[in-house]
Amino acid sequence: MSEEHVDGQGGRRARPGEEGLDRRPEGVDDATVEAVGKVSEAFEAIEEVRGRLYGLHRLTGTADLALGDACDLLRKAGHDALADRLETELVGRNVLDGRWTFQLVEEFDDGYYADFQRLEKLVRDELVQGRRHVFEAEMKAERRTPGRPGHEATPD
């Protein structure tokens, strides 16, 4: 990186005048930006986990409703014993001990997810004035080709 992109304290900076990409607070070093970025990266993984957990919740509910419909169809086709067995053993069953998936989602959201979200924000607030994606903004500034279509600093 050229000298014009260094903050005087060993810190990488976005190119001067790159509105929207120059997010690093004055005096914050590279190691701090990298560490905060890694905490945010970890939280982004948890966001994906949360989405998958909601997917589990939705798909499990969809399967339970479809199985109920299948039981009705089995009865209409004269297979009452099989319909009764599916309905008794699977329809409305807990997916884990004592829990439907909505309870898993609520426990995750109110516990681990909420704590992770709060602490990731605390790290950003204490170290980079609450700014988000400082590491990524600098990576974009470093990797883009100014003046090329599709490489604009911001949408404006």
Phi and psi at residue 12, in whole multiples of 5°? -75, 145
How confident is the model at residue 153, as a pLDDT?
Answer: 84
pLDDT band at 66 (very low <50, low <70, confident <90, very high): very high
Q: What is the pLDDT of residues 7-42, one digit of tens each?
A: 444 445 555 556 667 789 999 999 999 999 999 999
How confident is the model at residue 2, as a pLDDT?
Answer: 41
Comparing CA positions, the residue from 90, 51, 46, 53 lying closest to residue 68 is 90
Q: What is the pLDDT of residues 94-143, one digit of tens each?
A: 999 999 999 999 999 999 999 999 999 999 999 999 999 999 988 888 89
